[in-house]
């Protein structure tokens, strides 16, 4: 069994438990174990764009220092935003010695971070370390006939320097879906924003965005959408469901980990969605039992 140190992040630890349950099961089927960090704090969620705002890098630096202190080189994330924030902060701090020195001087209750921890998104681990061939071999329940629209959102692929794939023409989700036997249905809305945090201050914007993304997926014939971000998922699932008249043609959304788990014979943890994906799954011969 291979093992990788894992950073859950607040969203996954709270609202998006299903993303983690499914990931653990799926990785287990692939011979990998996620070892959660003993102590962790919020990554900061939104990467600070101010170049002199070092205080916002204290959170990420503390996480990275602890990873390094525990003797690890890699840190796995499931959430796109945690991935992006941690990875960008790591680059920001290490590309100028002065920044790292100042943050280390402030963090005098942690061992110094010297740089070099590689933040890895689960999609990268599957693509680059495990490999799609191994995934294909481990599939127990091919997702044959299931049409899935990949939704990338913003932070998984942007900015280009830290993204897991090309920001305009990504294919990592399409390739994974092919390995699982599903039929990817790429959508022009797949790389557009879901409304993100406007969901709190202007929910109608998120509703509108989620509706547009879902309609584009439906036009392509998709049964459902997949994403890698708890915030995108909230908007695609909860906010889409709230739009007037949405329920009649709602397109369910799942985490990619849930489809991975489903295909690999692990628990897909799909019982917490607002828009229930089970009817479309059942229609494609992929019935999922309802847990009591």
Partner 1 sequence: MSAEQDMIRIYIMGKAYEVPGGLTIMKAMEYAGYRLVRGVGCRGGFCGACATVFRRAGDYKLYADLACQATAEDEMYIAQIPSVPAERASWVLTELAPEDNPILALYPEVARCVACNTCTRACPQELEVMDYIQAALRGDIPQVAELSFDCVQCGLCAMRCPAEIVHYHVGQLARRIYGAYRAPEAGHLAARVQETARGDFDQELDKLEQMSKDELVELYRKRDVES
Q: Which residues bind partner 1 (CB under 8 A)?
A: 10-11, 13-14, 39-42, 44, 55-56, 58-59, 62, 106-107, 109
In the chain, beta strands by DSSP E: 2-6, 32-36, 74-77, 118-121, 147-150, 183-184, 224-227, 253-255
- Of 64 and 262, the one with the shorter C-beta distance to partner 1 is 64
- Of 63 and 213, the one with the shorter C-beta distance to partner 1 is 63
CB of 79 to partner 1, least distance (A): 12
Return the structure tokens found at 274.
Answer: 């607002």
- Of 14 and 73, the one with the shorter C-beta distance to partner 1 is 14
- Of 38 and 289, the one with the shorter C-beta distance to partner 1 is 38
CB of 191 to partner 1, least distance (A): 28
Could you tell me where the DSSP H helices lie in 9-117? 10-13, 17-29, 58-69, 80-95, 97-106
**Rounded CA gap, 56 and 39, in Å?**
19
CB of 194 to partner 1, least distance (A): 20
**What's the distance, CA 64 to chain centroid?**
19
- Of 62 and 147, the one with the shorter C-beta distance to partner 1 is 62
Burial per residue of 137-164, b for 16 or more beta-carbon CB atoms within 10 angstroms, e otherwise: ebbeeebeebbbbbbbbbbbbbeeebbb
Query: Around Cβ 75, how many Cβ atoms within 10 Å?
Result: 26
CB of 13 to partner 1, least distance (A): 5
CB of 173 to partner 1, least distance (A): 26
């Amino acid at each position: 069994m291979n093992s990788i140190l894992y950073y859950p992040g607040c969203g996954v630890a709270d609202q998006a438990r299903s993303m983690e349950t499914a990931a653990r099961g799926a990785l287990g089927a692939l011979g990998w174990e996620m070892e959660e960090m003993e102590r962790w704090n919020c990554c900061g969620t939104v990467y600070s764009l101010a170049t002199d705002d070092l205080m916002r890098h204290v959170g990420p630096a503390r996480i990275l220092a602890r990873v390094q202190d525990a003797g690890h080189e890699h840190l796995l994330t499931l959430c796109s935003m945690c991935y992006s924030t941690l990875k960008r902060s790591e680059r920001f701090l290490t590309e100028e010695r002065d920044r790292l020195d100042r943050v280390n001087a402030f963090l005098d209750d942690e061992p110094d971070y010297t740089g070099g921890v590689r933040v890895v998104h689960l999609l990268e681990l599957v693509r680059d370390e495990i490999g799609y061939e191994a995934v294909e071999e481990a599939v127990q329940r091919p997702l044959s006939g299931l049409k899935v629209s990949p939704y990338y959102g913003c932070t998984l692929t942007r900015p280009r320097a830290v993204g897991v794939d090309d920001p305009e023409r990504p294919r990592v989700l399409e390739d994974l879906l092919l390995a699982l036997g599903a039929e990817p249905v790429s959508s022009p809305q797949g790389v557009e924003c879901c409304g993100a945090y406007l969901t709190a201050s202007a929910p109608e914007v998120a509703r509108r965005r989620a509706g547009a993304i879902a309609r584009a997926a439906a036009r392509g014939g998709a049964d459902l959408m997949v994403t890698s971000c708890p915030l995108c998922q909230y908007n695609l699932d909860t906010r889409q469901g709230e739009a007037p008249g949405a329920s009649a043609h709602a397109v369910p959304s799942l985490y990619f980990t849930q489809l991975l788990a489903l295909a690999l014979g692990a628990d897909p943890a799909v019982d917490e969605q607002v828009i229930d994906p089970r009817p479309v799954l059942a229609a494609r011969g992929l019935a999922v039992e309802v847990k009591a």
